[in-house]
Structure 1
């Protein structure tokens, strides 16, 4: 394989059984290669097209390889048995390939911590077995696809943070029951209160450092919510009393336009003032008393 690393891949000797090679796993009954995992190490160059010649591959991992460059090869589209793909913490560039939508067995797709550009392919919503989608920490632009409200089958945890996404979040996403969402550090706008509601099952939400704007006082939160980060937005209104009924492990509503008294009870006074400061006229413990 053309990965320019004689040491890391020293065991890759064509005269020996490839099932004994470092970074490869085989099915013991069929002797077919089912996993290729290259983690750290001084690997350089591009992901070779030859990965497409492993038709029984279920797991493909290239992770923490800062000298891995180039685009994600189209040869991966041939690997119809793939269940997990982790191409993260590398210097891969180019677009997020839409061919991933053809890999119907995918339950985990992680392309985070790269230099990927362009928009998010709407076709990814065709993956019915997807449990988690990590596109965070890239240079993606454009909007969150409308189709992301149409995931059928499992509803994946969505990680889109640290990109340059713009526009409002499609309301169609409110029809799905997400568990975990991270849209932080983008340039998203509008109202995202439709993710909440007493009938939802959402647990962990990070919408911080965007340009979201809506009236928080009207929002009803689900009992499942344990982490809510809304800091650095343009959210107005007051904190709803319903927050006192939640078993919150984390809360941050700082740097918004909130007003009124912080409701007393539940976990709300267990967070320090930094969870609430830099709002228009929010007051009460742990902030100074209301006048």
Structure 2
């Protein structure tokens, strides 16, 4: 082979090798520090099949259940959902400084306490640690995450009281603490959120005491109040004092609440109301017939009396929404109302 051909061959070989190397670097856009942390997380879970795509030879921005920022190439979302994952949330999650979304969900073998290293992730906007076997308390350090707007710790085995400090989260839009074993009272501070008022999901716990009266004074953007299946007592009539509030759903069923419903003023936007299985007395206000969005209503198992209001959307609710009361009468109940 002539020397010129040899030189040309080696030139193309060098060019091709450089091209492959450059393409390889471009393809692997994931930040090397983030990649290292992710592989540590995988190893701490004993390299489960669910994370099989987390191959050190490939770009981590293309791994399953991950998202990277297109400009910085830093990992911004870590989602581990379903499948067989055993162990505890590893401390390495705190070493992903650009993380905005952290989700560990439907992992029945995920145990231990909520990882304290999460407090390092100041860019987090969403935490969803739900449907696992996490135990321990709801940690105060969650209140130090300034950008958090969605916190879901539902369907776990959390115990202890609800920390008042979460009311300091000025951007929080939803707080899910339901389906745990939380005890104590609802903090008074939850009626004094510093920023937007989050939807409150506190049901299916072991909460006791009275509902804070400050909840009745929350701003108009409170959409959902779910306090059912606890052991709350006392007066909750202050939740029904303002027709202009935007609250769409109120569920305070299966508690030990005791108050007169007669003077209630329901929010105009109310779509679902469940006050069943309490000790509520008085009558059902006729204003309820003016609620054009009402899709669900249940007042059964109380101590209500008087005629069931007719009209509006009330005709869509059957016997089961009203039975087992002291002296309610009229359609759809079989007993007619008699005067005097």
TM superposition shift of 1:222: 1.9
Query: 1:1-291 counterparts in 2 under 5 A?
Result: 1=41, 2-177=44-219, 178-196=222-240, 197-247=242-292, 248-288=294-334, 289-291=336-338
Partner Cα distance (2:247, 2:66) in 1 = 37
2:288 is paired with a residue whose SS is helix
Residue aligned with 1:8, SS: helix
Secondary structure of 2:49 counterpart: coil
Q: CA deviation at 1:44?
A: 0.7
Report the alpha carbon displacement of residue 22 of structure 1 after superposing the two structures with TM.
1.8
Q: Which residue of 1 aligns with 2:6?
A: none
Conservation of the 8 A alpha-carbon contact between 1:5 and 1:43: no
Give the superposition deviation at 1:127.
0.5
Whole-Å Cα distance in 1 between the matches of residues 134 and 295 of structure 2? 35
Deviations 1:235-291 (A, max 9, x none): 000110111111210000000000011011111122000000000010100012223
CA RMSD of aligned residues (A): 1.0
For 1:6 and 1:221, how far apart are their aligned partners in 2? Answer: 51
| Larger relative contact order, structure 1 or 2 (CA cutoff 8 Å, min sep 6) | 1
Partner SS, residue 142 of structure 1: coil
Report the Cα distance in structure 1 between the residues aligned to 2:236 and 2:255, rounded to whole angstroms: 11
- Report how far residue 133 of structure 1 moved: 0.3
Q: How far 1:191 sits from its partner (Å)?
A: 1.1
Deviation at 1:152, TM superposition (A): 1.9
SS in 2 for 1:164: coil
Q: Within 2, Cα distance between the matches of 1:113 and 1:258? A: 33
Q: Name whichever of 2-11 and 224-233 sits farther off.
A: 2-11
Is the contact between residue 48 and residue 85 of structure 2 (CA under 8 Å) also seen in structure 1?
A: no
**8 Å contact from structure 1 (residues 5, 42) kept in 2:** no
- Residue 5 (structure 1) shift: 4.1
Distance in 2, matches of 1:273 and 1:93, equals 41
TM-score w.r.t. length of structure 2: 0.84
Q: Note the alpha carbon deviations across 1:218-238, whole angstroms, 9 max, x for none.
A: 111121111100000000001
Higher strand share: 1
DSSP 3-state at the match of 2:143: helix
The structure whose Rg is larger is 2
> d(CA) in 2 for partners of 1:285 and 1:204?
24
* Structure that is richer in helix per residue: 2
- TM-score normalised by L of structure 1: 0.98
Offset at 1:141?
0.2
